Structure 1
C-alpha cells in the first residue's frame, strides 16, 4: 500500500470529508492522519472521517517532518504541485525519506466518479441551472442599462443564494466584444437591447462543482435557453456553429474513445466553417471537487473514456473586437454515451 502526503484542500476533502487552509493529510500503510493547528482542531475532530486528527505545535511542515521521522517512513508519494519549493525543502530537511513525486495523483485517483458522487454533481448542476434562470429573470426586469460590473455583482449575489451556496469560480459576465475574451473581467460597458450577453457560472453542492455557460441575446423575453435569435446575422451564424459543434461533441462521447477524439469533433466542425483560429482553448475539462480536474478534453490528451468520467463540453468562437460565443454543459460518460448533468 502506497504511503502519501496531501496538502491541496480539495484533495484532502475527498479523502476525509473535511479540509481547511492549513492542513496536511498523511496516509501510512492505510493508517490516516490529519495534521492542523489549534484554529481548526475542534472542527477537524468533528468533521474529518476515518483519520486521526493531530494538532501541530511548532508549525505544519516542521511537525510533519518530525512525525514522519518518528514513524520511520521510508517512501512517501507527494504531488509536487501541492508544495512550494520552500515548503518541500523544509519537509525534506535532514530527511532520509525517499520522496516520490507524482503530479496530480489525487486527481488521477478520483477521475472515475461513483454513483453517489454523480448524484451530488447532478444536484449541483440543478442548483446552478436554477440560478441561471433566476439571473435571467433579474436581467429581464432590471438589467437594461446596467454595467458588466453591476451585472457581475448581482450574478454573484444570486448564485450564492443568500450564503447557502458557494461559487465554483468567479462568474464571467460579458457583453458583445468583451465576450471575445474567454475569461473576461467585468467592465463598465452597459447592457442595451439586442446585445449579446455571455454568462459562465457555477455553484458548489457538498463541495462538488457545477459549471455552465450560455450566450444569449438581450431582448424583452431574455432567457438562457439554447434557442436564441440574434438580430445581428453574424452573431446568429456563429452561435449556430458553436451550438452544433457542442451537440456533435456530446453525441461522439463513448467508452473507449480518446479524449482528443471528442475535441477533434468540435474543432473540425468549427474549422470547417472558417473559425478554427477563433477556437483557442480545449473543448472541456474534468469537474468534481475541483472546478478543473481530469480528464482534459484537448487536442493532445489521449486518455481513454470510461464510464463515470465527468467533464465539461464547451466549444467557443471568439472574434476579437466583435463578440464571443461559448456554450457549455457538464456530462457524465455512461455505457450508452453521455448524460448531460
Structure 2
C-alpha cells in the first residue's frame, strides 16, 4: 500500500495526535508543518505536554483559532491537509476565514497511516489482548460463583469491573452482555433479564494497554460448575449448539485461510460463504471484522465491499455472527495479526 508522505497537516483527533507524538489530551490542535510539530493546548495540559509530547513545540493558548492562524500565516505554506471527519463545521469556518492557505480534505488520512502496525505496536496490542483474556477469566470465575439469578445490568457492571481489573485499565468500549434472545441484537443493551442454568450468554469486551485496544467476543453455555469463555462449548439446546458450531466453523475458516495479498472482501467471503451455505446468510447482518489499534475501529474494514489488499502487520478482528430475532444470537470474535503471510490470534 503506497502512502504519500504529507508535509503539512492539522489534527484534532486525540488518538491521531497521540500517534504523532506520544501524548494527547481532549483539547488540542496538532500541526505538522514541514519538519516542525506544534502541540497547541490550554493551560490545563501544557505542563504534561512539555514533558511527554515528543519533538513538539508546545504552545499554551486561550484562543486556538487566533494562534493557529498566526502560525499558519507565519509559515508561508500554500496548502494544509485535514480530515473532515474530525472538524466541527463552526471550527472549520472560523479557522479558514481570512486566510489564503488551501485546506485540503483527506478523509481518514491518519487512520490510513496507521493501517500497518509496527512491531512495537503489535506487542502493545498483544499485551492488551492478554489483559483482556485475564479479564474474561475473572468474569467467568464470578459467574460460576455468584452469577446465578443476576441481571444483565448487574453482569454488565461486573464485566466493567473484571475487564478493567477494578479500574486499573480503561476499557476499549462499553461491554456487551446479553442473555438468550437479547443476544440476537448485535449491540444489545443490558436489561433486567436474569441469568439461569442452561442459558446462552454473549459477552463482547476489551481493554486498553498504553492506549492500544483489545476486542473479543465469547458466547457460552451457562453451567455454574464448569462455566467458561473457552471456545469449546457444549450447549443443552440443540439449536444453540448447531448455530454455535456453524459460527465457529466460519470463524476458523477465515483465520486458517486468510493470507497476505488477499483483498479484505475475500476474507469476509471466507466467513460468509460457510454461513450462507448452511442457509443462515440473512442472519449474518454485519461485516466480518474491523482493524484494531489506538481506535477500537480502524482500517482495514473486513467487509464484502473492501478492495484493500491485506498486508503483514495489519491487525483486525474476525467476528462472524448469526442473530435469530426473538430467539438468540451467537458471535465469536478474535483479534488477529497478519504475520509471515498468515493470521495469528493475538
Interval of TM-score (by shorter of Structure 1 and Structure 2): over 0.9
1:36 maps to what in 2? 41
2:141 maps to what in 1? 137
Residue 283 in structure 1 maps to residue 288 in structure 2: yes
Residue 68 in structure 1 maps to residue 53 in structure 2: no
2:107 maps to what in 1? 103
Match of 2:325 among 314, 320, 324: 320
Equivalent position SS for 1:169 = coil
2:62 maps to what in 1? 57
2:340 maps to what in 1? 335
CA positional deviation for 1:87:
1.0
CA positional deviation for 1:57:
2.5
* Residues 85-124 of structure 1 aligned to structure 2 (within 5 Å): 85-124=89-128
- In the aligned structure 1, how far is the partner of 2:340 from the partner of 2:12? 35
TM-score of the two chains, using structure 2 as the length reference: 0.97
CA contact (8 A) 2:202 2:218 kept: yes
CA positional deviation for 1:72:
2.2
2:221 maps to what in 1? 217
- In the aligned structure 1, how far is the partner of 2:184 from the partner of 2:30? 41
* Backbone CA RMSD of aligned residues: 0.9
Match of 1:262 among 263, 267, 277: 267
- In the aligned structure 1, how far is the partner of 2:99 from the partner of 2:215? 42
Match of 1:46 among 44, 47, 51: 51
CA contact (8 A) 2:171 2:208 kept: yes
- In the aligned structure 1, how far is the partner of 2:157 from the partner of 2:47? 35
Residue 309 in structure 1 maps to residue 309 in structure 2: no
Residue 296 in structure 1 maps to residue 301 in structure 2: yes
- In the aligned structure 1, how far is the partner of 2:220 from the partner of 2:337? 25
- In the aligned structure 2, how far is the partner of 1:180 from the partner of 1:74? 53
Equivalent position SS for 2:276 = helix
1:147 maps to what in 2? 151
Which segment drifts farther, 164-173 or 331-340? 331-340
Residue 77 in structure 1 maps to residue 73 in structure 2: no
Q: After superposition, what is the alpha-carbon deviation per residue over 1:83-137, rounded to whole angstroms, capped at 9, x for unaligned?
A: 0111111110111111110000001011111111111111000000010000000
Q: After superposition, what is the alpha-carbon deviation per residue over 1:57-76, rounded to whole angstroms, capped at 9, x for unaligned?
A: 22x23321222122223100
CA positional deviation for 1:54:
0.6
CA contact (8 A) 2:312 2:341 kept: no
TM-score of the two chains, using structure 1 as the length reference: 0.98
Which segment drifts farther, 49-58 or 74-83? 49-58
1:196 maps to what in 2? 200
CA positional deviation for 1:36:
0.2
Q: 1:229 to 1:42 in 2, by over 3 A?
A: same
2:3 maps to what in 1? none
CA positional deviation for 1:160:
1.4
Number of aligned positions between the proteins: 340
CA contact (8 A) 2:117 2:314 kept: yes
Residue 251 in structure 1 maps to residue 256 in structure 2: yes
